[in-house]
Amino acid sequence: MNYRHAYHAGNFADVFKHVLLVRMLDYLKRKEGGFRYIDTHAGPGRYDLSGSEAMRTGEWRDGIDRLARADLPGDVKGLLKPYFDALGTPPREGGPYQYAGSPCLAQKVLRRQDRLTLCELHPDDSRALERNIGRDNRVRLLNEDGYRALKGLTPPTERRGLVLIDPPFESRDEFETMETALFAAWRKWPSGMFALWYPVKEIRPVAHFITRLKERGIPRMLRIELTVELIRSDGPLAATGLILVNPPYVLEAEARALLPVFAKLMGRGPGAGFAIEQITGEPIP
């Protein structure tokens, strides 16, 4: 599939991904020392939900719009507060608004002592990212392929941090490329935190991806998925997931509080639900 983000900004997959991203960044802030956030496919950083692409699909209405208007349980409100604080301007009554992507969310969450490295290969998106980030001496922008750049960016000098690998899935071998990039970066930085986002259009490629990750023998991996309706290869995106390496010890419990609410709130019929599992495996001899 080709997941051009301007058409899908603010949808259920974005909400799922960005809430958990902010939870992980917030956890890293518990220690005073600075850390590094690396985004391999940063995109333009901000999206106009009144733009032609977003209005054509209207997917944000079943994602961020539903979440922003929901009457949420107190514990869930507490977990979502850093996300909403970073997101900024709430939706206008009955209308769309600007939605922050992962670079702008991270920029809001990180402190003075933390650093961001943002990679974006597409020239138009790279220029838009530069405008949307503004002048910020914590940020390094790289107009290059994020997979290639990751080899030289790990481990960072801070020795603590998070890598988000969030490609548009334009290539048929995207899962294989993600797996290879993760393993190479993890071998150089085994204490690093990694988050791999993926869409679920078909079950088999995702199952194969997870099997291959298990065979790599990487310890401490967590799979989290959200499904909003029955998955059909010829239908709209119905499920999304994250593979997390070295996730915060509190994240699984937080996900178990958040995901039932997300599935109920953003579900579109039969099949809505979630999955959370440890997927640590043993390396092939």
The residues annotated as belonging to the active site are 166
- Token reading at 76: 């869930």
Give, for 147, the enclosing helix (H) or strand (E): helix 146-153
Q: Are 8 and 237 in contact (CB under 8 A)?
A: yes
The whole-angstrom separation of Cα 69 and Cα 223 is 28
* Residue among 254, 276, 284 at smallest CA distance from 78: 254
- Token reading at 195: 């988050």
Q: How many CB atoms lie within 10 A of CB 180?
A: 14
The whole-angstrom separation of Cα 160 and Cα 205 is 31
Q: How many CB atoms lie within 10 A of CB 90?
A: 11
Which whole-number Å values give the CA distances from 197 to 48, 102, 265, 283, in the listed order? 22, 12, 21, 23
Give the pairing type, strands 98-100 and 115-119: unpaired
